[in-house]
């Protein structure tokens, strides 16, 4: 059997020191398979970003194991196949969009010639075709987010990990992004993203993971959830699930 693209096995992540630790992620396990588009949803502070940062090697699991393409998560070789969009990221204000993509593409190992060919097309794809020579300090939040998406796709990775995918995007930006993700999905790429936009998740994903207070409380295919939620929709289903989980804990 082929190795999962993402394999998370009983990981826990804690913050803090000397007895004042907070368990942000509590013994979670899940997998993401090749070609899947998986949405990761939960309230603020539920553990979404912590899980994603652990997959990227920015945080370290206190127990358990996370693997990406069969390799320990966070190693340079596992990251070489990931396109990552951080939750909130500013990009160097003293650089131009083209220069930034040259930097990130170069760090991903793309040859200079290939980068020169690819950059205009990638900027065009995210709607920044005319902005390549503008310093990033003049970019709006939405433009920065589009640039963030551009930097994540520049090296044509096999797996995309997006933290708060549509954050800061206007309706046109969301539409562009949705088309882009559908194209990526059509080419067999694997996508794992967190979002608060449940309609976005519903429209794009094959499967949804719901995390609450550091624990995975639901892992189901969109079709199953749609059937279960009926006419009330994913948003109401999510709210009800969170309330039910709270009530069970109390």
Partner 1 sequence: MNSRAVRLIAGTVLKESLRRREMYVLVFAACSLLAIILSMDFFGLRGLSKFYREISLRVMGLTTAFAVIVLAARQLPRELENRTIYPLLARPIRRAEFLLGKLTGVLLAGILCFALFMFIFVLGSLRMHVHIPWIHFLQHLYLQVLMLAIVATLGFLLSLLVNTDAAITICTLLFLLSAVSSMMLVNLYGYMDWLGRRVLIFLTYFLPQLTLFDLSEKTVHAEQWPPLQASVLLTLSLYASVYIALYFIGALVLFRRKEL
Among 1, 18, 44, 107, binds partner 1 (CB under 8 A): 107
Q: According to CB under 8 A, which one of 43, 71, 103, 180 is a site residue for partner 1?
A: 103
- Are the C-beta atoms of 192 and 211 separated by less than 8 Å? no
134 binds partner 1 (CB under 8 A): no
CB 13 within 8 A of CB 52: no
Residue among 21, 77, 140, 236 that touches partner 1 (CB under 8 A): 77
Closest CA to 54 of 107, 104, 11: 11
Binding residue for partner 1, selected from 19, 44, 109, 187, defined by CB under 8 A: 109
| 54 burial via Cβ count (<10 Å: 0-12, 13-18, 19+) | buried
Q: Which residues pair with 71 in a beta bridge?
A: 68
- Between 18 and 57, how does the x/- string for binding to partner 1 read (CB under 8 A)? -----------------------------------x--xx
Q: Is 144 in the site for partner 1 (CB under 8 A)?
A: no
Of 80 and 245, nearer to partner 1 (C-beta) is 80
Q: DSSP strand E in 33-107: where?
A: 37-41, 63-68, 71-72, 82-85
**Does residue number 89 form part of the binding site for partner 1 (CB under 8 A)?**
yes
**Nearer of residues 39 and 86 to partner 1, judged by Cβ:** 86
* Residue 91 is a binding residue for partner 1 (CB under 8 A): yes
Binding segment toward partner 1, per CB under 8 A, in 31-39, 81-89, 209-217, 238-246: 81-89
Q: Give the range of 30-38, 85-93, 193-201, 209-217 binding partner 1 by CB under 8 A.
A: 85-93
173 — phi, psi (to 5°)? -60, -40
- Is residue 195 close enough to count as binding partner 1 by CB under 8 A? no
Query: In terms of DSSP bridges, do strands 159-162 and 207-212 run parallel, antiparallel, or are they unpaired?
Result: unpaired
With b for 16 or more beta-carbon neighbours within 10 A and e for fewer, the 85-101 pattern comes to bbeeeebeeeebbbbbb
Strand, coil or helix: 37: strand
104 part of the interface to partner 1, by CB under 8 A: yes
CA-to-CA distance for 151 and 113, rounded, in angstroms? 17
Residues 55-74 that bind partner 1 (CB under 8 A): 56-60
Binding site for partner 1 (CB under 8 A): 15, 53, 56-60, 76-77, 79-80, 82, 84-86, 88-92, 94-95, 99, 103-104, 106-109, 148, 151-152
């Amino acid at each position: 059997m082929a190795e999962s693209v993402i394999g998370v096995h009983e990981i826990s992540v804690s913050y803090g020191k000397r007895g004042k630790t907070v368990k942000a992620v509590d013994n979670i396990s899940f997998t993401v398979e090749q070609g899947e588009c998986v949405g990761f949803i939960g309230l603020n502070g539920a553990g979404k970003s912590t899980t994603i940062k652990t997959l990227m090697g920015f945080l370290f699991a206190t127990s358990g194991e996370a693997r990406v393409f069969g390799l320990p998560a966070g190693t340079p070789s596992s990251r070489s196949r990931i396109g990552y969009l951080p939750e909130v990221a500013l990009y160097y204000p003293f650089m131009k969009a083209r220069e930034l993509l040259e930097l990130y593409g170069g760090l991903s190992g793309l040859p200079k010639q290939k980068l020169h060919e690819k950059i205009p097309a990638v900027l065009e794809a995210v709607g920044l075709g005319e902005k390549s020579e503008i310093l990033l300090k003049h970019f709006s939040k939405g433009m920065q987010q589009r640039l963030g998406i551009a930097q994540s796709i520049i090296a044509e990775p096999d797996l995309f990990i997006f933290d708060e995918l549509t954050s800061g995007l206007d309706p046109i930006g969301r539409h562009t992004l949705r088309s882009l993700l559908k194209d990526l999905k059509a080419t067999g790429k694997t996508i794992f993203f967190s979002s608060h936009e449940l309609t976005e998740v519903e429209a794009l994903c094959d499967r949804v993971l719901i995390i609450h207070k550091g624990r995975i409380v639901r892992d189901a295919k969109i079709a199953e959830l749609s059937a279960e939620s009926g006419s009330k929709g994913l948003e109401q289903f999510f709210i009800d699930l969170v309330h039910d989980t709270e009530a069970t804990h109390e």
